[in-house]
Amino acid sequence: MKHILVFIAVICLIVLPICSNPVKAQEFTRFEHISIDDGLSQSSVTAIIQDREGFIWFGTRDGLNRFDGYTMYTFSSNPEDPRALSDSYINCIFEDSRGIIWIGTLSGGLNKFDKMTETFSTFRHSEGDNQTLANDSVRMIREDPAGFLWLATPNGLDRFNPQSGTFEHFNLQNGLSNNSVWSILITEEGTVWIGTEDGIDQFQAENGVYKHSNRLTSDLSGNTIRYLFEDKTGNIWISTYNGLDCLNPLSGIITHFENIPGNPSSLSNNRIRTICQDNVGNLWFGTTDGLDKLEQGTNKFIHYKNDPGNPDSISNNIIWSLMVDRSGVLWIGTLNGGVNRLSLTKQVFICYRNNPGNVNSLSNNIVKSVYQDQNGFIWIGTLGGLNKFDPLANTFSLFSHNSYDPQSIAGDTIKAIIGDNNGNLWVGTTSGLDKYSEQSNQFTHFSHNQSDTKSISDDVIWSLFFDSHGQFWVATNRGLDKFDPISSEFTHFGAAYGLPETTIYTIFEYEPGVLLLGTDYGLYRFDTISGTSVSFRFDAANPTTINNNVVRCIYQATNSTILVGTHAGLNEFNVAEGTFKRFTQLNGVTYGILEDNFGYVWISGNNGLTRLSLANETTKTFNKTDGLQSDEFSEGAFFRDSSGLLYFGGINGLNVFDPSKLQIETAKSNIIITSLDLIGGDTSFKLPEQIFGGVTLEYENNSFTINFAALEFEACQKVRYYFQLVGFDKDLRIANYNQRDISYTNIDNGKYTFKIYAADQDESWVSDTAYLSIRITTPFWESWWFYSVCGILSLAVIYFIIKLRIWAIQKQNDRLESLVEIRTDQLKTEIEKQQITENKLKNEIENRAKFTRALVHELKTPLTSLSISSELFAGEATDEPFISLSRSIERSVMNLSKRCDEMLDLARGETGLLKINKQMLDLDSFIEGIKTDLLSIAFSKGILLTFEYKKSTRKAYIDPDRINEVINNLTDNAFKFTPPNGTITIKTDISDEQFMFEISDTGCGINKEYQKRIFSPGYKGETNPRLDGLGIGLILAKMFIELHKGKIWVKSKPKSGSIFGFSIPIGEKD
């Protein structure tokens, strides 16, 4: 068994060479498909045009379609509607010089489309009427310089006057070679070429003469002329059912093209139904077996056919219609395959990728490295082996690992490729370093050996580089190595040289002997001569540092600018100063950097491919929609070859392009306001023609949606909309390509202007601004006439109200005058009575005061004598009973004298004669004197007396005698009604403005209903024991406090004691 396996291995080595047989490379071309799932009315597309507004029109076998790039609108026939399309089977569509769209149908005649009303006018054949259409089947429509329309029908050629609506017929009877006309071509000079089923005719418009050349017809590939087309050089292309002919009208030379079996550069099929030419001069032919392209200046056809295994191939091989729009998109109508869309500008980005089941493709879609050797071959490293590409022969050769062959490549993951001066190719894999010798067609391996310090540091290789001294540097997963191909020994440069011993992604020589290394830990400047290094790392606090520590690529532009790509974008490195300038407009990972012949820098990353102008720092970004393999590229997979072609590999193939052929689209797309729809209603205003003069909405229809579209078919995903409802929106608003409507609700009545323009994401083009005037009517209750009527009515009402009010006021005045007279008499009587009463009261008060003074005088005289007698009696008394009696008499006399003084003060107060004598007083001394007197009294009565006050240096301007009387009166009452062992608390507070005194006791308290009247003259409660004995003392206290402009109060609850207090101002002046 072992011998059998060895034999099989030997046979495999003989039969299967190291590299596979070269095969033709297959460029990837992506067709976008539009089907009935996208709104197309039917899948067989017979005609395609683009109108002057930019809409794309599709004619099908069941309906006419208008396409704005996003939405399909269908027009169909309706027998019950005379203004509908006459027939849903569309043969042809044509827009004349006035912008009118004409539709030729299979059996419904000629239709004229009214853009304003979106209705159709029909021109039909009427038997016996020579002024009508020759036949209801209109195959082609063209316009001559005079504005007449020429119609191809199965029953001859018609010339139609759109102004008069009349037809002129040309057929066999007046010189036409055959009545079955398929195609019409009208030159700028007015010559009409007619393709019939029996050759070609010419009609000279200036003399109305037909010219039929038998020789020309006999020299053509066939008699049935299916299509006529004039290219940009003036050559006329004639398609027949037997091939293609090119006629030079000047020389009369005819060049034939036909399908030649076995010749891949010949026509796909001899039956050609349609022809068009793109913006760069290439001709496109729709055949019954695929789409053909004839590149300008060549006689070779490139074929595009349906590939069932490739969903991006053309949908069907039977091509019925072709059209190149203004943005350079080729539209292809097929039989049963719908519409195909091919961006011709995107074809600049050639894409090579793997196609499963097709050996004629790249071995793997994930491309990791690209290199051109000295023989011009392109080497492509993938995750599926090493590919050798011959650009001239357009062929691939594949080198892959063979476990049975030790001389095959070490591994299939190829991350780096470089060639040396000896013609050897060096390949960095994830399995070590390989040297490929083209002479021996063998690979030599160099891999890591732990026991050999001279072996490579790690088998995962990221970059290979030969410096200006011929030294070979290898970047690995464990740092930097230098390889000597003669001795096959590696020298490691790690921590001893200040370099990291981790992944090094890229190597670049700044100057002889100085390398720049991109690592996971920043950028390193390594002097290979001195063995020293300097690192440059990101510092968030320093904007002049590198923007990220993961450095993927380094490139020097022709202006000597050093560019460094990191995981955060692009940097410009000033090596001399060690500083960085960050390109903030290029945020995102940067995988590769190349410069083209025009000085533009191309940057690959995970957001597509960006072109940067270092002169003005403007950018243009390309993505998958532009033909790139993907928006994500690979690190290390970028290369510029000797002819200036740029190569960028990514996760889904390899892009190759010539920057000189790239035409940056600057043509403006047209922005169209397609409709205005009422929210909650069925009314809709459609198309620019309908809303050109503006839209008027009733006030109740103030909520609406405006629909719009940029007729951009090249890269509609890059479109941005900038719009504003002037008068409502404060600023411009922005919408992405997929938001093509904006709603406004509850808009106030008035005049508004909706303006909108479109631009691509780089603003390389900006459309003209479209405007829509919107007027929302004013509700009648807000109109000027309604306000006027309301104003007049209001004035009338006000007038009558005023008149009525004046009458009422007059009547009221009369009544009031009468009442005033009566009331005046009554008031006079009342005043007189009041005056008499007041006089009586004054007399009574004065009499009572006189009586009080007389009474006090009468009492004071005997009291004085009694006081003297009591003093004499006390002085002569020797026995204790007589001494006590004399003292009691003396106290009674003093008390009566005090009461007399109080009565006298009360009388003075009632007559306004009571005065106070203010003087400056030291409050601290005043309070201390009171405290001393009261403590002795409290002690004698067995009552706890406490003082709460803070000493103050404040002086008061008061009457000390009267205030002392007030305090004595309040304290006497407290002592009187506080039982033994009770508590009396005195609080004082002195501020800059006033003096406050408050005394609280634990006596019997006072009922609430008596507290308000306790300071009233002559009042004394009979039912409250606390009020017993409270006489004129409190009344006088109130008088003294009020004379000081102060306040006195009482707070009490029965059985809970009472609080009496007062506050007086203590300013220096009244």
Residue 232 lies in a domain: yes
Q: Which of 876, 909, 942 is the last residue of a domain?
A: 909
Same domain, 267 and 203: yes
pLDDT tens, residue by residue, 105-123: 999 999 999 988 899 999 9
Same domain, 989 and 1013: yes
**What is the model's pLDDT at position 844?**
61
* pLDDT at 1024 > cutoff 90: no
Same domain, 178 and 215: yes
Residue 405 lies in a domain: no
Q: What is the DSSP string of 202-265?
A: EEETTTTEEEE-HHHHHHSS-S-EEEEEE-TTS-EEEEETTEEEEE-TTT--EEEE---TT-TT
Residue 893 lies in a domain: yes
**31 DSSP assignment:** -
Residue 367 lies in a domain: no
Same domain, 794 and 699: no
Cβ 674 vs Cβ 687: under 8 Å = yes
Residues 6+ apart with CB under 8 A from 542: none
pLDDT tens, residue by residue, 852-904: 555 555 555 565 656 666 666 666 666 666 666 666 676 666 666 666 666 66
Residue 142 lies in a domain: yes
Q: Can you tell me the distance from the alpha carbon of 643 to that of 378, in angstroms, rounded to the nearest whole number?
A: 12
Of the two residues 688 and 831, the one the predictor is more confident about is: 831
Q: What is the DSSP string of 525-574?
A: EEETTTTEEEEE---TT-TTS-S-S-EEEEEE-TT--EEEEETTEEEEEE
Do strands 192-196 and 199-204 pair parallel, antiparallel, or not at all (unpaired)?
antiparallel
pLDDT tens, residue by residue, 214-265: 656 678 999 999 999 999 999 999 999 999 999 998 888 999 999 999 998 9
Same domain, 815 and 899: yes
Structural domain boundaries, residue 999:
916-1065
Of the two residues 610 and 768, the one the predictor is more confident about is: 610
Q: Can you tell me the distance from the alpha carbon of 49 to that of 789, in angstroms, rounded to the nearest whole number?
A: 58
Instruction: Report the share of the chain in percent with pLDDT over 70.
Output: 85
Residue 525 lies in a domain: no
Q: Can you tell me the distance from the alpha carbon of 386 to that of 408, in angstroms, rounded to the nearest whole number?
A: 11
**What is the model's pLDDT at position 887?**
62
* pLDDT at 268 > cutoff 50: yes
Q: How confident is the model at residue 190 (pLDDT cuts 50, 70, 90)?
A: confident
Candidate from 20-34, 176-190, 808-822 with smallest mean pLDDT:
20-34
Residue 463 lies in a domain: no
Residue 904 lies in a domain: yes
Q: Which of 271, 299, 319 is the last residue of a domain?
A: 271
Q: Which helix (H) or strand (E) holds 998?
A: strand 994-1001
* pLDDT at 1028 > cutoff 90: no
Candidate from 446-460, 902-916, 929-943, 953-967 with smallest mean pLDDT:
902-916
Same domain, 84 and 105: yes
Same domain, 847 and 925: no
Burial of 1007 (0-12, 13-18, 19+ CB in 10 A): middle
Burial of 486 (0-12, 13-18, 19+ CB in 10 A): exposed
Tokens (6 digits) for 575: 């090596």
125-132 long-range contacts, CB within 8 A, separation 24+: 130/169, 131/166, 131/167, 132/167
Cβ 133 vs Cβ 143: under 8 Å = no
Q: Which helix (H) or strand (E) holds 476?
A: strand 472-476
Distances (CA, A) of 892 to 863, 866, 886, 887: 10, 10, 10, 9
Q: Can you tell me the distance from the alpha carbon of 105 to that of 113, in angstroms, rounded to the nearest whole number?
A: 13
Q: How confident is the model at residue 7 (pLDDT cuts 50, 70, 90)?
A: very low
Do strands 944-948 and 983-990 pair parallel, antiparallel, or not at all (unpaired)?
parallel
Residue matched to tokens 């411009």: 732
Q: Can you tell me the distance from the alpha carbon of 29 to that of 51, in angstroms, rounded to the nearest whole number?
A: 27
Same domain, 807 and 715: no
Q: Can you tell me the distance from the alpha carbon of 741 to that of 232, in angstroms, rounded to the nearest whole number?
A: 40
Instruction: Establish how many alpha carbons lie within 13 A of residue 616's alpha carbon, considering only the half-sphere containing its beta carbon.
Output: 3
Residue matched to tokens 């067609």: 441
Q: Which of 845, 874, 909 is the last residue of a domain?
A: 909
3-state helix, strand, coil in the chain (%, to 5): 20, 40, 40
At 688, which CATH number?
A: 2.60.40.10
Residue 738 bridge partners (DSSP)? none
Question: What are the helix and strand counts (H, E) for the chain?
Answer: 9, 74
445-449 long-range contacts, CB within 8 A, separation 24+: 445/406, 445/410, 446/483, 446/488, 446/490, 447/410
Same domain, 221 and 77: yes
Instruction: Characterize 759-797 residue by residue with b for buried, 16 or more Cβ atoms within 10 angstroms of its Cβ, and e for exposed.
Output: bbeeebbbbeebebebebbeeeeeeeeeeeeeeeeeeee
Model-level pTM? 0.64
At 68, which CATH number?
A: 2.130.10.10
At 1043, which CATH number?
A: 3.30.565.10
Same domain, 733 and 867: no
Counting the structural domains of the chain, the total is 4
Single out the residue of 330, 338, 319, 213 nearest to residue 269, CA to CA.
319
Q: How confident is the model at residue 661 (pLDDT cuts 50, 70, 90)?
A: confident
Tokens (6 digits) for 953: 């240096």
Same domain, 745 and 839: no
* pLDDT at 104 > cutoff 70: yes
Same domain, 1033 and 922: yes
Candidate from 126-130, 400-404, 722-726, 895-899 with smallest mean pLDDT:
895-899
Tokens (6 digits) for 107: 């059996």
Residue matched to tokens 């013609």: 423
Q: Which helix (H) or strand (E) holds 432?
A: strand 432-437
